Amino acid sequence: MTRAIRFALLVLSAAAVAAPARSPAPRPASPAAVPSWTVDWIYGKEAAAIGRVPPFAWTSGGDVLFLAEDELPATIARVSAATGRRSNAVDAAAALATLRALGPAGAPETLPWPEALDPAGRTAIYVIGDDLYALDLAASRFERLTATDAREQLPRLSPDGSRVAFVRENDLWVLDLAAKKEIRLTSDGSPTILNGTLSWVYWEEVFSRGDTGYWWSPDSRSIAFLRTDDGPVDVSTFTDFDPAVPRQIVQRYPRTGRPNPTVRLGVVPASGGAAVWMDPASVPYEYLVGVAWLPDSRSVAVQAMNRPQTKLDVWRFDPSTAKTTLVLSDTDPALVYQKELVFADGGKTWIVSFEKDGHTHLFRYGADGARRNTITQGPWSVRGGRSYGAALGSAWVDDASGTVYFTAIEKSPLESHLYRVRPDGTGMARITKEDGTHRVTLSPDRRFYVDSFSTANTPPSLTLHDASGKTIATLSESRAAALAPLSPSRREFATIPTPDGFALPASVLEPPDFDPAKKYPVLVHVYGGPGSPIVQNRWDRESLFDQLLAARGYVVASFDPRSATGRSKTLEDAVVGKMMSDSELADLRTAVAWFKAQPWADPARFGIWGWSGGGSYTLLAMTRTTEFKAGISGAPVTDWHFYDTRFGEAWMKTPESNPAGYALTSALAHAKDLSGRLMLVFGTYDDNVHPQNEWAFANALIEAGKPFDLMVYPMQKHGFTSKAAIRHRAEKMLEFWKTYL
């Protein structure tokens, strides 16, 4: 189930500013309207900017490039990590003039962040009108690279910056930038054979919505890539309302128990030639979930998993011999997580994440798979950039200083911080100090890091630090001042005791004119999916909608059932085979009883709502309890038969192996027990949680004679993109709460 779509934006806070080389160009003064808590404002440009930090990238020379929107026109700026001095990496106006002279359709009015950058930060690649364009940053000059009727996509520059790889009509190509010569690396691409690009289930559930299915070798001589055969996968269709004879959109979507795409790993010379394939006959697997070149460019580490997702093997594949060697293996009767895998000592040492005690920790192994020592340990978990499961993007190694850097929830399960430790596990220390969530990216030489920092009450900032934590420069300040005129309520955290002693994390947002002597309607905002907490000390863009609700007189409360807290795999394992049923229900009953016992709560006016997993949790609450007067369920999975293999089978296994679990967790069987007024909301082009989920539940309600409301948004996907639809949905929710609470 999608973790990213739960009305959340995970980012960022503030730090000191180093003196820039020059001041950014001032914006022209203009009278500004005083903002107010309205739907138009919270989903407008000003509010969107509050929760956004600029995209950025480290260069091999130790500079940070980022999109400087405080310049007029917006440009790509460069900050030296050593000095903190800022300069423009490109003359945006001059560059855009050269682009317009090339005459592409759909040329941007302002300089956007590129699709790809070379490590040195000299060349940027853009996709404009389905063709590729290169920007020479120093010369501020665009150059057209392709001019075909086909669509070029997913460009990635080689580490040495001399070539760009891309995908055209599901084949992998390379273009030599100096010689302007294209080389076709694969030739069997088709609507069902995908080379270097991903099928839907790999895009969504394996590579976290990162579409690139190929990887340059460090020496720029080879490319490892995935070849996917989507042919065995069932076809789903979506019907548009346009044109007069509506178009049909086809998607290959593998549901639980049904065939998956077949995937192979190949390595091909960047100069062209035959690919060498990792033999699936000698390496049995259902999923390939991780690919990483070793530093010497001679072999590739490949993470392969079985279909029940209870066994993960890490193989080393040598394309010069086509030999595959098993290095590490992990098994778990519940499920295994993908490994964080970082190389040290030129590949002689492998740092790998495991959940040996239920918590995610780092361990040191030799390249032969022999375990050397534990690096981190304790009643807490290493956590990376993903919202559940694997700790990907959580560790970095500095061979020069003999230091391992990592991010974890050691200080607080509601926060994320950067730590350092010696490879032998001694000398662990926390680097980031401010309470809140730090999303960090270390420089290639590990001497510096960029920190995206925020708290639940402080919008994000982007800052540059040295490895000790000292602030060098602020790349983007927190936009807290933009919120000040609205006098936002402060989100407060609490813990809710459970009968067995576990403390459920919770948060409360009160109306700005809160009167402790009054009784308020309470809206409980939930998600509830395993390892996917929403009670976190970090900025959440949907907190602005919560503020709007508070301004309308509601108390907005949230909590996480224990399986959703992300604190340990042990807690998540408890829902394997029965996700969204008894365990989550027991914690919900406890949390709601606690909320209703508060002196400010009106027990007769409780509402609940959520999107995706939160939509499913809302249905669980409203069909298995009588606690809620009303609820809004957005894009819920209503039966795990309808969801995809990779996520659905990780937690529920297959319908054939777990029929009792599928029956227990199906919301369809409990539709007859609906209590309170329900509004179902979804988009007709939701290619993640397919509309059959809502149609099936609506039909079950009709069969049971249960009244309900239905709000359908034509051709919107799981995450709405139409501004009109987003605003309309928000207004409809406000109207619903006013009517029923």
Task: Please state, in angstroms and rounded to a whole number, the distance separating the CA atoms of residues 575 and 510.
Answer: 32
Look at residue 673 and give its three-state secondary structure.
helix
Sign of the CA dihedral with 173 first, then 176, 177, and 182 last: negative
Residue 652: helix, strand or coil by DSSP?
helix
Give dist(CA 175, CA 162) in Å, integer.
9
Structure tokens at 300: 């590739």
Asked whether 399 and 449 are in contact (CB, 8 A), the reply is no
Contacts of 515 (CB under 8 A, 6+ apart): none
Q: Is 718 a catalytic residue?
A: yes
Which of 476, 581, 612, 666 is catalytic? The answer is 612
Q: State the catalytic residue, choosing from 417, 525, 690, 718.
A: 718
Per the CB < 8 A criterion, the answer to whether 668 and 697 are in contact is yes
Q: Cα separation of 569 and 309, whole Å?
A: 14
Per the CB < 8 A criterion, the answer to whether 161 and 120 are in contact is yes
Joined together, the tokens standing for residue 386 give 């993903």
Q: How far apart are CA 330 and CA 592, in angstroms?
A: 39
Q: Which two tokens stand for residue 67?
A: 């999109």
What residues pair up with 265 in beta bridges, in sequence order?
226
Number of H helices, E strands in the chain: 13, 43
Q: How many residues in the chain?
A: 741
- Report the C-alpha gap between 708 and 728 in whole angstroms: 19
Report long-range pairs for 367-372 (Cβ below 8 Å, ≥24 apart): 367/316, 367/327, 368/327, 369/326, 369/327, 369/328
Q: CA–CA separation, 189 vs 200, rounded Å?
A: 16
Reference 459, options 481, 474, 475; nearest CA is: 481
User: Is residue 118 helix, strand or coil?
Assistant: coil
Computed on alpha carbons and rounded to an integer, the radius of gyration of the chain in Å comes to 26
Q: With contact defined as beta carbons under 8 Å apart, do 610 and 534 qualify?
A: no
Active-site choice (359, 641, 686, 690): 686
Task: Count the neighbouring beta carbons within 10 Å of the beta carbon of residue 25.
Answer: 12
- Just list the catalytic residues: 612, 686, 718
